[in-house]
Chains A and B, each alone.
Chain A
């Protein structure tokens, strides 16, 4: 069955520290891959996406993610976290077959300590 796993429900880091949020997927073929961020009570904003090509993708707000086919992973990273990065982060996979449906992970809530 297709699924997306974000194993860390909560992560707390100090401001200025590095960050890595994990995402693993189970899919029949290489899907499209996305990371979204959601501030409290708000909609989702796309941070970055992977379709093909370079497996290290750059996104907005200084985030990057690396697609590792052998590990079925698409982990999100940021070298230095800012207090404004506190939010919930969702990994999602989309089908290349045109069904237009996403599967979302359950999210990782990031807390940033001053």
Chain B
């Protein structure tokens, strides 16, 4: 069966520090991968998605970037964190090329920027 991992589970970082959040998927190949941010009291905002290694689409201009160095690995990064980057970050995957596009979510990373 497929599983999706995210780490760390929680992170507290000072403003201006770098960020690296990692997401890995097991049990599937060639998945589509997604990064979402969930701010308090708001829905989920799609930040990035990827349909293959090195292929990243950005949905919202921001202080963050994403990379996909391996087929089942998706990394969210920042060079200098802002207070507004605080939130709950969710990684998700879906089957590429399927006639439907159900997404499966990881457990999330709670990021607090102080």
Report A's interface with B, CB cutoff 8 A: 4, 32, 34, 36, 41-46, 49, 51, 90, 92, 94-95, 98, 100-102, 104-107
Contact = CB atoms under 8 A, between A and B. Distances in A.
Closest 7 pairs between A and B when the two form their complex, measured CB to CB: A106-B43, A43-B105, A44-B105, A104-B44, A104-B43, A43-B107, A100-B32
Contacts of A94: 100-103
A54 to B, nearest CB: 15
Interface in B56-83: 59
Given A43-B107, A44-B105, A46-B102, A100 B51 contact: yes
Interface of A is mostly: strand
A44 to B, nearest CB: 4
A104 B45 CA distance: 8
A24 to B, nearest CB: 14
A92 B103 CA distance: 10
B72 to A, nearest CB: 16
A43 B44 contact: no
Contact of B107 (A42, A49, A90, A100): A42
Contacts of A107: 43
A101 B44 contact: no
Contacts of B51: 100
